[in-house]
Amino acid sequence: MNIESVMFFDLVITVFILVVALIAVGYYFWRYAKKVNGKVGITGGDAGENADLLSQARGKAIKMIDEANNKALDIISKATLSTDTVSETFKQEMSHISSVQIKEFKKATSDFTKTYFQVLQDLKANNIEAFQNVSKDIEVNTTKEITNFKESMEKLTVLSQDEVKKKIDADYALLTKEMEDYKNQELQKVESGIYELLENVSKLVLGKALSLSEHEELIEKSLKEAKKEGIFK
Amino acid sequence: MKKDVLIYYDLITSLKTTQEVESFVSEIDTLMFEFYNTKGLLIHKALDSISFGTVGKIMQAFLKNNLDIYNKDTFVSFFQTLKILIKKLKVIKLVLAFDPTRITIEKIHNFVKENIGMGYILDIEVYHDVLGGAIVIFNGKYKDFTLKKNLEEIYRLRRSEILPNRT
- ipTM here: 0.84
Asked if residue A213 has pLDDT above 70, the reply is: yes
Smallest CA–CA separation between A172 and chain B, in Å?
21
| Per-residue model confidence as pLDDT tens digits over A26-70 | 999 898 888 876 665 555 556 677 677 777 777 777 777 777 778
A113: pLDDT strictly greater than 70:
yes
Distance from B131 to chain A by nearest Cα, in Å?
A: 6
pLDDT (mean) for A130-136? 82
In chain A, % of residues over pLDDT 90: 11
Residues in chain A with CB shorter than 8 Å from the CB of B96 are: 215, 219
CA A227 to chain CA mean position, Å: 116
Rank A138-152, B38-52, B146-160 by mean pLDDT and report only the highest: A138-152
The answer to whether B130 contacts chain A (CB < 8 Å) is no
Q: Which residues in chain A are closer than 8 Å to B139, comparing Cβ atoms?
A: 231-232
pLDDT in tens, B128-140: 888 889 999 999 9
CB B138 to CB A203 under 8 A?
A: no
pTM for the predicted model, two decimal places: 0.49
Pick from B134, B151, B152: CB nearest A219:
B134
Beta carbons within 8 Å of B68's beta carbon, 6+ residues apart: B62, B74
Chain B residues within an 8 Å CB radius of A222: 94, 133-136, 143, 145-146
Of B101, B134, B139, the CB nearest to A222: B134
* Residue B68 backbone zone (phi > 0: left; psi -120 to 50: alpha; other: beta): beta
The residue ranking higher by pLDDT, B37 or B106, is: B106
pLDDT for A52: 76
**Quick count: other Cβ atoms within 10 Å of Cβ B39?**
6
pLDDT tops 60 at residue B23: yes
What mean pLDDT is predicted for residues A201-209?
Answer: 64
Confidence of residue B6 (pLDDT cuts 50, 70, 90): confident
- The pairing of strands B134-138 and B90-96 is antiparallel
Contact B92, B120 (CB under 8 A): yes
State phi, psi for B91 to the nearest 5 degrees: -105, 125
For chain A, positions 212-231, list CB contacts with chain B under 8 A: 212, 214-216, 218-227, 229, 231
Residues A199-219, mean pLDDT to the nearest whole number: 76
The string of pLDDT tens digits covering residues B84-104 is 999 999 999 999 988 999 999
How far apart, in whole angstroms, are the C-alpha atoms of residue A59 and residue A193? 176
How many Cβ pairs within 8 Å bridge chains A and B? Answer: 91
Residues of B in contact with A214 (CB under 8 A): 132
**Selection from B27, B4, B13 nearest residue B120 by Cα:** B13
Across the interface, which of A195, A214, A219 has its CB nearest the CB of B155? A195
With b for 16 or more beta-carbon neighbours within 10 A and e for fewer, the A113-125 pattern comes to eeeeeeeeeeeee
Q: What is the pLDDT of residue A134?
A: 82
| Sheet containing strand B90-96, strands side by side | B120-126, B90-96, B134-138, B141-144
